[in-house]
Amino acid sequence: MSLAWSTLAIIVLLLPGVLFFIGLFLPKKFSRDVAPASPLAELGAAVLIALAVHGVAFVVLVGGWNTFLPQPDLETLFALLQLPEDDREALHQIEANLMSNAPWVVTYLLGTSLVGALLGWATGFAIVRDKFALRRVARHSWVYDLVSDDRGNLPFAYVLTNVQHQEHVLMYRGSLKAFGLAPDGRFSYLLTGPLCRLQSVISQRA
């Protein structure tokens, strides 16, 4: 029971890092792969971001300028991560501490999670807009030029299929509205916009 509770507490503390990656892909107009290329690297980044958010929050709360918000009780936090099952008195003290500060605890968790999500959204927005040269960290930076908010930028897609009849091959064309990208950079699907409906043409193979 203690191990399960400790795992749940750690997951809750990692929410700012997890929500960072959720917010990171919100400004993007194309889907990403569901499974990350390196789950261990993404988990490490989530831990690092969560530690940074909690670290800044800790410095703000324990600072001398904080005269309104309660300061964090690290002793209760560490005891909460590993509940003393055999010490009833310690459990009652932890319960009393949490119940008396429940509104502040919930506010802190929601606030740090929101900060993580907003940091991810801001980073994703900077990547899409190519601000501060952040697009260099993207795995496939060229895809951001395909779908944009500029109405003068209208990508047109020609998709050659493997459907063949004698010397003719079926090809689709249309204005590109959205697309999905596989981890290796290949298109998983294409979606055309209403300005030009998807049309099928028969193209003679050279």
Residue 84: pLDDT over 70: no
Q: Are residues 164 and 132 in the same domain?
A: no
Domain coverage including residue 138: 2-142
Query: Other CB atoms closer than 10 Å to residue 184's CB: what's the count?
Result: 9
> 179 falls in which pLDDT band (50, 70, 90)?
confident
Q: Are residues 172 and 117 in the same domain?
A: no
Q: Are residues 32 and 92 in the same domain?
A: yes
C-beta separation of 202 from 170 below 8 A:
yes
Q: Which amino acid is at 161?
A: T
Q: For residue 57, what pLDDT is reported? A: 93
Q: Which of 17-21, 48-52, 101-105, 165-169 has the lowest mean pLDDT?
A: 165-169
C-beta separation of 109 from 57 below 8 A:
no
- Number of domains into which the chain is organized: 2
The fraction of the chain above a pLDDT of 90, given in percent, is 19
